[in-house]
């Protein structure tokens, strides 16, 4: 639920507790054993980028076609400019995301593409908690793996 055809949003928080929402454009599991995830977050919001300094992050991924969703919460271990592979992944993932929306919801592709951030930042974090966020009575239930 953090792969292609998924909408990704990131939550961060400032040092004084102000939460901030922003979008991300691709994510992948870097190290399953360490539960480490690399997410390519939009860099168009300097507040969200600055909030990464607090070390806390939440990533919500929702499949566009099924709306099955998961939220990962963890601690930031690294932030850095995107690599060429990262940018290729962003192109693939965001393209699949936009096409899935156009397919399922009928929104013109060229309109949805206006959402995409011009720049991204790579954020790696270790997952401490995982929650099922699929719409329904059990939304928010902890997932143990």
Partner 1 sequence: MSVDDQISLESIEACFSGVVPAVLATASGDGVPNVTYITKAHRVDGERVALSNQFMSKTARNLAVNPRASLILIDPLTQLQYRLSLVYERTDRRGHLFERLRTDVDAIAALEGMQDVYRLRAADIFRVVDVAAVPPNPNAKPLEQLLPGHDPAAAVDGLATLAAAIGRAGDLDVLVDSALEILDHSLGYRHTHLLLLDEEGRRLYTIASRGFDADSIGAEVTVGEGFIGLAAQRCETAIVGNLGQMAKYSRSVRREHEDRGGVRPGREVPMPGLPGAESRIVVPAMALGELVGVLVADSSGWAAFSAADERVLRAACAMLASAVEHIRALERDEDTAPSAPPPGRQAHPGADTLAVRFFAVDGSTFFDSDYMIKGVAGRILWTLLRHHATDGRTEFTNKELRLDPSLELPGFKDNLESRLILLKRRLDERDAPVRIERTGRGRFRLHVDAALRLTAVDP
* Contacts with partner 1, residue ranges (CB under 8 A): 7, 9-13, 17-23, 44-45, 54, 56-60, 62, 65-69, 71, 73, 104-108, 110-118, 131, 133-140
**CB of residue 15 vs partner 1: minimum separation in angstroms?**
8
**Phi and psi angles of residue 51, each rounded to the nearest 5 degrees, phi first:** -65, -20
Closest to partner 1 by CB, 33 vs 61, is 61
Closest to partner 1 by CB, 33 vs 110, is 110
Pairing of strands 56-63, 36-42: unpaired
CA–CA dist 73, 82 (Å, integer):
21
**CB of residue 33 vs partner 1: minimum separation in angstroms?**
23
CA–CA dist 42, 116 (Å, integer):
8
What pairs with residue 126 in β-bridges?
A: 36, 75
CA–CA dist 26, 21 (Å, integer):
16
**CB of residue 78 vs partner 1: minimum separation in angstroms?**
18
Query: At CA 98, angle to CA 139 and CA 5, rounded to 5?
Result: 45
**CB of residue 137 vs partner 1: minimum separation in angstroms?**
6
CA–CA dist 32, 47 (Å, integer):
29
**CB of residue 129 vs partner 1: minimum separation in angstroms?**
8
Closest to partner 1 by CB, 94 vs 122, is 94
Closest to partner 1 by CB, 68 vs 99, is 68
Closest to partner 1 by CB, 30 vs 67, is 67
């Amino acid at each position: 639920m953090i792969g292609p055809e998924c909408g990704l949003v990131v939550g961060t928080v400032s040092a004084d507790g102000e939460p901030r929402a922003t979008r991300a454009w691709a994510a992948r599991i870097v190290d399953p054993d360490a539960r480490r995830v690399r997410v390519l977050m939009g860099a168009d919001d300097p507040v969200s980028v600055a909030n990464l300094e607090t070390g806390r992050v939440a990533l919500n991924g929702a499949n566009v076609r099924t709306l099955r969703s998961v939220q990962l919460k963890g601690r930031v271990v690294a932030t850095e400019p995107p690599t060429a592979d990262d940018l290729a992944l962003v192109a693939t993932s965001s393209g699949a995301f936009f096409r899935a929306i156009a397919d399922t919801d009928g929104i013109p592709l060229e309109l949805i593409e206006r959402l995409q951030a011009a720049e991204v930042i790579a954020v790696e974090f270790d997952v401490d908690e995982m929650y099922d966020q699929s719409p329904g009575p059990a939304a928010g239930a902890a997932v143990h793996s």
